[in-house]
Structure 1
Amino acid sequence: MKKKYQNIFFVFGLVLLLLMLTQLDLSQVLAGLKRAGYWFGAAIVLWGVLYMLNSSAWYLIIKSGNNGKSDIKFWWLYKVTISGFALNYTTPSGLMGGEPYRIMALSPKIGPERASSSVILYAMTHIFSHFWYWLLSVIIFVACRPVNLFMGIMLACIAAFCILCLWLFLKGYKGGIAMKAMRILRHLPLIKKWARKYIESHKEQLDTIDHQIAALHSQSRNTLVSAVLLELLCRFLNSFEIFFILLVITPNVNFIDCVFILAFTSMFANMLFFLPLQLGGREGGFVMSAASLGLTAGAGIFVALIVRLRELIWTAIGLLLIKIKE
């Protein structure tokens, strides 16, 4: 990637990160870190491992698109993965920052079409695993917890929504999604003129990307299954972060409760995808999910604070990695 574009991504992300830091209460942050102690360090290390699994899923997709071979070094991809997520965290609407960065970083190595298709496929796989996680969380909740009428209706709606989205994603895997997405964009206000011009001038490239996505689905299903399983494993391992933090408050921590808290919070926060770092939505999700499982609102607020600090630290690391030479 050209140094000019690296600087643009770095400055853009840094400005948004600094704005987010101004929203924190320093005294509250210091008190939270003192209370969390070494468990905060455990959460930081955990996410270093989770990013390795994310990178592995993307690495499998890239290799599959090149007959199982790749000249790309895993640790370089690990760096790009962390930076991509950092830009996603700081960018309103989530995927508007990290994905273009990943495509531009990868294009000089494997070409723009293959770079675009691998990034789109990985983004699809990442989101696809979320719906599987939410659906499995519903099943686990029904198996482990008493369910009243209201809860049953809510869980049934969540399960139906997840199944519908999983079906739509499977259709996207089979037939490609790049051209379909651009056709949707051409009907949206403000960007429809740009989208129409882009389709006209890049129709061949979009068709090539969709062909590569469909070919990978039909020829390398084992790769896609492995990538989805790696991403799904990330979701469940992510629950250990909440487990570590709650150990500070009470020794009687149930890991299954942590799975439910993460499932509800991530679903609630993703409904507010237009907010950088899902500000406010993440905190509200933690408080409500903790309360629904019999924990105090204070416990939910404490978990939200520590998770927010961990996100900011890894976001800062990701932005710094943008400046490291390839």
Structure 2
Amino acid sequence: MKNKYRNIFLVFGIAAIAVMLFTFDVSYTELAESVRRAGLWFPVVVLLWMLIYVLNAGAWYIIIHDGFKGGKIPFWRVYKYTVTGFALNATTPVGLMGGEPYRIMELTPYVGVEKATSSVILYVMMHIFSHFCFWLFSIGLYVVLHFDYLTTGMSAFLGLSGLFCLCGVYFFTKGYRSGLAMRSIGLLQKVPFLRNWATGFAQRKKDALERVDAQIAELHGKHRITFYSSLGAEFFARVFSCAEIYCILLIFTDAISYWDCILILAFTSLFANALFFSPMQLGAREGGFALAVGGLALPYAYGVYMGLIMRVRELIWIVVGIGLMKFGNRRPVESEEYK
């Protein structure tokens, strides 16, 4: 990627961080007190995400090298682009408006624009698909662990949530079979302000988009080991990230199981993603945590406190991700095919 484009992403990231710092819905005194109360658990929680990002980067790394005939891309670069991509997405309302273009532009010199585009699209699909798999798993887990406490209202909620997740699984399974690039452009052609641009883009890039869709369909249809390895890494990253909730709740009580932490994260992520338009899901995550721990007969205050700790941790990783843009950017030696 050219430095001028990288600097644009950098300025955007810094501006977004500044906006978030000035628009936090809690005081800095409360945040500082939360970190102080967490004690040694706070650096543990921050470092934990270093390992979670390894799993995320690993899932993308597997996809990038599937069927690629060129040289291996260093894992540390994929890790760097992963952390920065998530940082950009976390600062963007609606998400997926900063991180994905950044990843494509950084990866293009190594694998070409079509492979870069298809690998990023595939990884985003895998990342979202693992959400639905995780939610379905959690619904079954709740029924097994708390069957005696099921009420009519909770049963209805679980049923509707399960139906929603099954629809999501069906949508992505269909997308994997037939591709998603042309389908996405087709949806953009129905958006009033994007219709003309999307129509022109589809006409100019029709062959390239069809090749991207072919690569997406090939991964699911012919390279099942790659597909399920990547999905497994993303799913395990979600399960492993529940250790953050477990560590924070240990500050208050030892009457909590890891299974309950999985249920808390599943409910909270489902609630927060419903409010996808909020940068860093401000307010949605704290509310989701409060409702989730309340549903497990824990004090609502635990959920609010947990949300504050995780908010500070996420801000630290956003700063790290944005800062990584300016390190390790030596331009790779491109083959003639990608120049």
Sort the TM-score into its range (normalised by shorter chain).
over 0.9
Equivalent in the alignment of 2:49: 47
Equivalent in the alignment of 1:247: 250
Equivalent in the alignment of 2:107: 106
What whole-Å deviation, never above 9, does each CA across 1:233-292 have from its counterpart, x for those lacking one? 011111110111111111222211111110011011111111111111111111111111
| Correspondence for 1:212 among 201, 207, 215 | 215
The letter for the 1-side match of 2:229 is S
Deviation at 1:306? 0.4
222-231 or 184-193: which moved more? 184-193
The letter for the 1-side match of 2:100 is E
Equivalent in the alignment of 2:116: 115
Q: Is the 8 A contact 1:134 1:263 kept in 2?
A: yes
Equivalent in the alignment of 1:290: 293
What is the alpha-carbon distance in structure 2 between the residues aligned to residue 241 and residue 61 of structure 1?
A: 27
The letter for the 2-side match of 1:158 is S
What is the alpha-carbon distance in structure 1 between the residues aligned to residue 67 and residue 246 of structure 2?
A: 37
What is the alpha-carbon distance in structure 1 between the residues aligned to residue 75 and residue 83 of structure 2?
A: 12
- The list of structure 1 runs, each at least 4 consecutive aligned residues, that deviate by more than 4 angstroms after superposition, is none
What is the alpha-carbon distance in structure 2 between the residues aligned to residue 300 and residue 325 of structure 1?
A: 38
The letter for the 2-side match of 1:29 is L
110-119 or 271-280: which moved more? 271-280
What whole-Å deviation, never above 9, does each CA across 1:68-117 have from its counterpart, x for those lacking one? x6420001110010000000100111111100000000001100000000
C-alpha RMSD of the superposition: 1.1
What is the alpha-carbon distance in structure 1 between the residues aligned to residue 141 and residue 305 of structure 2?
A: 25
The letter for the 2-side match of 1:137 is S
For 1:7-46, list aligned pairs within 5 A. 7-24=7-24, 25-46=27-48
Equivalent in the alignment of 2:130: 129
The letter for the 2-side match of 1:187 is K
Q: Identity of aligned pairs, percent?
A: 45
Alignment CA distance shift 1:70-1:52 (3 Å): farther
Equivalent in the alignment of 1:71: 72
The letter for the 2-side match of 1:115 is A
Q: Confirm whether residue 307 of structure 1 aligns to residue 310 of structure 2.
A: yes
The letter for the 1-side match of 2:290 is V
283-292 or 2-11: which moved more? 283-292
Equivalent in the alignment of 1:58: 60
SS across alignment from 1:248: coil
| Correspondence for 1:277 among 280, 285, 288 | 280
TM-score (normalised: structure 2): 0.94
Equivalent in the alignment of 1:235: 238
SS across alignment from 2:269: helix
Equivalent in the alignment of 1:168: 171
| Correspondence for 2:186 among 183, 186, 189 | 183
Unaligned ranges ≥5, structure 1: none
184-193 or 72-81: which moved more? 184-193
Deviation at 1:189? 2.4
Alignment CA distance shift 1:229-1:70 (3 Å): farther
Deviation at 1:128? 0.4
Count of paired positions: 325
What whole-Å deviation, never above 9, does each CA across 1:175-195 have from its counterpart, x for those lacking one? 100000110111012212221
For 1:79-98, list aligned pairs within 5 A. 79-98=80-99
What is the alpha-carbon distance in structure 2 between the residues aligned to residue 129 and residue 71 of structure 1?
A: 26
SS across alignment from 1:91: coil
SS across alignment from 2:297: coil
